[in-house]
Amino acid sequence: MFTEYFPDSDKRKMREDFRKLKQGNRTVREYEREFTHLLNCVPDVARIEQDRVECFVRGLRPGVFRMVHAFKFRTFAEVLDRALWVEHGNACEREEREHLRKTKERNGLAVVRGDSLVPRSPRSTRGGSPKARDLCDV
């Protein structure tokens, strides 16, 4: 599409950038924009749909890659849709875990290694309040 507007050195650089492209810390949507931009600039790197699908999937973060790679999608649109859903599901799961952790902390429980809970140790006071002493004597 835009290949006629770029010098050969720029096209070589873009081809290399495309080959090395990874999602990294970006969202799936941000990764897709960069992927599509580079593909529009140097379309010969992935001429057929299946090549685009494989290149895109290969660059996804491991957690998203595993969930998308398990299916053999034929179109880029299908892969993108699934990757966006997986990313959304992962975000919801993270949010739920964080909410659960905060709720447990608020209720006086400390999270230790996963979901194991232990009562928090009471805060000691200088005078050694009777309540703190009673808890320690148990």
How high does pLDDT run on average in the chain? Answer: 83
Structural domain containing residue 29: 3-107
User: Is 75 a domain residue?
Assistant: yes
- 3-state secondary structure at position 118: strand
User: Is 96 a domain residue?
Assistant: yes
pLDDT tens digits, 50-79: 999 999 999 999 999 999 999 989 999 999
User: Is 33 a domain residue?
Assistant: yes
User: Is 115 a domain residue?
Assistant: no
**pLDDT at res. 64:** 96
Q: Are 67 and 41 in contact (CB under 8 A)?
A: no
User: Is 112 a domain residue?
Assistant: no
User: Is 135 a domain residue?
Assistant: no
User: Is 53 a domain residue?
Assistant: yes
Q: Is the pTM of this model over 0.75?
A: no
pLDDT at 132 over 90: no
pLDDT at 81 over 70: yes
Query: Average pLDDT, stretch 84-95?
Result: 93
- Tally of structural domains, the chain: 1
Query: Average pLDDT, stretch 84-102?
Result: 92
User: Is 121 a domain residue?
Assistant: no
Number of separate helices (H) and strands (E) present in the chain: 6, 2
Query: Average pLDDT, stretch 25-36?
Result: 97
53: exposed, middle or buried (Cβ count in 10 Å: 0-12, 13-18, 19+): buried
3-state helix, strand, coil in the chain (%, to 5): 65, 5, 30
Strand partners, 117: 111
Work out the pLDDT band at 103, boundaries 50, 70, 90.
confident
12/41 Cα distance (integer angstroms): 11
The gap from C-alpha 96 to its chain's centroid, in whole angstroms, comes to: 15
